[in-house]
Amino acid sequence: MTGPRFTPLIASLPSTVPFVGPETQERLRGRPFEARLGANENGFGPSPRAIAAMAAAAGEVWKYGDPENHDLREALAAHHGCRPENVVVGEGIDGLLGYLVRLVIEPGDTVVTSDGAYPTFNYHVAGFGGVLHKVPYRNDREDPEVLLAKAAEVAPKLIYIANPDNPMASHHPGETIARMLERVPEGSLLVLDEAYVELAPEGTEAQIDPDDPRVIRMRTFSKAHGMAGARVGYAIGAAPLISAFDKIRNHFGMCRISQAGALAALQDRTWQAFMRRLVAASRDQIAAIARDNGLTPLPSATNFVAIDCGADGAFARAVLAELTAADIFARMPGVAPLDRCIRISCGPEAEMAAFAAALPGALARARAAQAR
């Protein structure tokens, strides 16, 4: 009896996922986490108007969602000052990155990114046989100059940069990102991941013509809008590129409930302003907890804070393991020297208090283990 006949590419790939979810860890541990601070989720949750809209839409969940995402695309286009033809909606930025890679990457095609940057993008590139060329961070930020220099060398199909950045929460001024376009090689496309830009300081958002064919911008309702579980992302780009998504996307991938919630969230400007204040206060609280324990919080333009544990990756991993044992779900960057840090998501007071209570013991146990 034979099994499925996988393609040679798929057969060559490891059985892996970019992230191990907290639910998986809870099943392995046999108990839940007290604080869920590791997935860059927005623990403050969505707008009450979005919750009400999703509850109302639940009664019609027997219907498929609008395959064109018409109302949401119209609203997003108005919000960004572009045409609906410049907007595609999909199953989070993760889903849209997968579609984009499928559109342009064949086995052997080159892609440029930063070593330590968002691993789901790399996961999609590997899944379609692309060849990743990685450059290092500089001063805990992705380095536009080095990315462009590598792009000039290898002529990639795609160049990936996030602004603000995951996993370090750093950012560049929007002008720096806009100037990158002047040096994007002919035939390359800049993938600008702006998942956190609504939470960043003023001036972080790059002012780019939506019809510029050299760039595609990725946005999400998972972070500032607190709707990670709804899986709503969108991309803004030149109309010919956006229309190409229709050739391959899952036209019924967006459910009615998610569409309704995203539309209501986008319209609730008061909640968006309130959320920025909540996240800013939580960032300050995480930074204070870090300093109280002799650690160094890095400046953050996102809804999480990277905390420098003051040693190497082995020590940070030990701290992370001890936090996990103390029922605090957190994560850390996977590449040196970024892996000297742990990463803590913003969240409600109870979760901040749990983290503050667990951190001193986690540090003490990690230091004791290191001294043995």
What is the chain's pLDDT, residue by residue, as a tens digit (372 residues)? 578 889 999 989 888 777 889 999 999 999 999 999 999 999 999 999 999 999 999 999 999 999 999 999 999 999 999 999 999 999 999 999 999 999 999 999 999 999 999 999 999 999 999 999 999 999 999 999 999 999 999 999 999 999 999 999 999 999 999 999 999 999 999 999 999 999 999 999 999 999 999 999 999 999 999 999 999 999 999 999 999 999 999 999 999 999 999 999 999 999 999 999 999 999 999 999 999 999 999 999 999 999 999 999 999 999 999 999 999 999 999 999 999 999 999 999 999 999 999 999 999 999 998 877
CA 326/CA 353 separation, integer angstroms: 13
What b/e readout covers 25-41, taking b as 16+ CB neighbours within 10 angstroms?
eeeeeeeebbbbbbbbb
Give the domain CATH number at 275.
3.90.1150.10
Which pLDDT score, from 0 to 100, does residue 1 have?
Answer: 58
Same domain, 41 and 71: no
CA 216/CA 242 separation, integer angstroms: 9
Same domain, 287 and 335: yes
For residue 3, is it within any domain? no
pTM of the model: 0.96
The structure tokens 């070593």 sit at 115
For residue 295, is it within any domain? yes
Residue 297: in which H helix or E strand, if any? strand 296-297
Same domain, 342 and 199: no
Per-residue H/E/C for 167-186: CCCCCCCHHHHHHHHHHCCC
135: three-class secondary structure by DSSP? strand
Last residue of a domain, one of 223, 242, 267: 267
For residue 365, is it within any domain? yes
217: three-class secondary structure by DSSP? strand
Which pLDDT score, from 0 to 100, does residue 370 have?
Answer: 83
Last residue of a domain, one of 247, 267, 287: 267
**Range of the structural domain that residue 166 is part of:** 48-267
Angle between the 119-127 and 92-104 helix axes, to the nearest 10 degrees? 40
237: three-class secondary structure by DSSP? strand
Q: What is the CA radius of gyration of the chain?
A: 21
